[in-house]
Copies of this chain bind each other. A is one copy, B any other.
């Protein structure tokens, strides 16, 4: 049989490691002949835009897949319609898979992709079509249900915490009161922002951590900052992009008369400037959080490869409609098992950061959470460079 693999949703810096894992297991199996890559997620299957990946695995390409951020096959934001609303696309997908002798589809993605896995596997089962559909998780947001954590999160957390530790050094040089706001990704879940609590092992920063799981209190924030400034010249705030500062966006007009809406960091910056009056600056870590493969977590890369391979093995043992999950066995020594869960249970859901790890004042993360995060950022990867820059792979 042949199989196909695709990548979907927002990229991570190890989504190609999971791609590598799928290819490796496929190449290793004598049951699988060709492993195809679908360009731009499931759209490559719909439009029959496939490339053969069966022979790409050289030692160098394995290294390059591990250090190339973002989806090497391209991504999409395509949402598979319900079968009742549009059955035509289901027929088209089935035809293109069958025409290419493909018996299994592996979708590396987040909760939207698991919706696709759930719908498509149900369609295949309902119609007695022998095509299996498996989900491989990825997201820097770490907000997928059931799995202990998601591939991509550990490397994002390693970048964010490393960058923050360096920003702490940068913020402390001048002998004046200042507030530095670092705006961190995560959508409606606070995991990535919360991971900055790891810094508490060595510094007081971040002095304040705000997550979308709790309500933001302006007055409390201002009084907290004033209190912290009595002991520290430089206050560091880790702020999740999902936090709602106010209902009334702070706006400014640019040179062309357009109103520019700031991110939540700039909203908070304006507020602190107004109510505290010291120097305030905002650092948006932006897409670097999901693409800084030069500082990937070795644990994350290895797990991303392993979970991709495990998906192929699970399919070969007869599973379909499942997402692969990590189940944490222990923190010290760190140990995880890879298990399966129904993709329908993950589809479209979001796992919030646990309230019991948030301080009573809703302004920081308890040290209890450190042992959860620490193993995920562990280990440094060897990187192949060319003229001082990391090399990246291109799949055509």
Mark out the residues of chain A between 239 and 273 whose CB falls within 8 Å of any chain B CB in the assembled complex.
245-248, 254-256, 258, 260, 266-267, 270-271
Would you call A390 an interface residue if the criterion is a C-beta within 8 Å of the partner chain's C-beta atoms? Answer: yes
A162 within 8 Å of B by Cβ?
yes
Q: Please report which residues of chain A, range 291-314, place their CB below 8 angstroms from some CB of chain B when the two chains form the complex.
A: 291-295, 297
The CA of A75 and the CA of B172, in the complex, are separated in Å by: 9
Which residue of chain B has the shortest Cβ distance to A391 in the bound complex? Answer: B202
Closest B residue to A257 by beta carbon equals B270
- A170-B70, A380-B385, A388-B377 known; A260-B256 Cβ under 8 A: no
**A173 an interface residue at 8 Å Cβ cutoff?**
yes
* A201 interface neighbour in B281, B297, B387, Cβ under 8 Å: B387
Partner of A294, one of B70, B295, B297: B295
Stretch at the interface among A185-193, A282-290, A346-354: A282-290
Which residues 144-183 in A have Cβ within 8 Å of B in the complex?
A: 158, 161-163, 165-167, 169-170, 172-175
* Chain A interface residue count, Cβ-Cβ cutoff 8 angstroms: 71
Once the chains bind, are A198 and B387 in contact (CB under 8 Å)? yes
Count the copies: 2
Residue of B with least CB distance to A275 = B256
Partner among B166, B285, B392 whose Cβ is within 8 Å of the Cβ of A169: B392
Contact A169 B291 (CB under 8 A): yes
A294 proximity list for chain B (CB < 8 A): 162, 166, 295
With both beta carbons as reference points, the residue of chain B lying nearest to A16 in the complex is identified as B169
**CA of A96 to CA of B291 in the docked complex: distance in angstroms?**
50
CB of B170 within 8 A of CB of A11, answer: yes
Say which residue of B201, B247, B295, B388 sits within 8 Å of A374 (CB atoms).
B388
Q: Which of B163, B170, B293 contacts A166 (CB 8 A)?
A: B293
Q: Given that A248-B255, A377-B388, A380-B383 are known contacts, is A169 also in contact with B68, CB under 8 Å in the complex? A: yes
Residues 2-52 of A at the B interface (beta carbon under 8 Å): 7, 11, 13, 40, 43
Q: A166-B288, A256-B246 are in contact. Are A174 and B283 (CB under 8 A)?
A: no
Residues in chain B near residue A170, CB distance under 8 A: 11, 69-70, 287, 290-291
Q: A254: which B residues are within 8 A, CB to CB? A: 246, 248, 266-267, 270
Q: Are B76 and A175 in contact (CB under 8 A)?
A: yes
Tell me the minimal C-beta distance from A198 to chain B in angstroms. 7
CB–CB A172/B70 < 8 A: yes
Mind listing 22 A-B residue pairs with CB under 8 Å? Answer: A69-B166, A69-B170, A70-B170, A70-B172, A74-B172, A74-B174, A75-B173, A161-B388, A166-B288, A166-B293, A199-B389, A202-B389, A245-B255, A246-B256, A254-B266, A254-B267, A254-B270, A256-B274, A260-B266, A294-B295, A295-B295, A377-B387
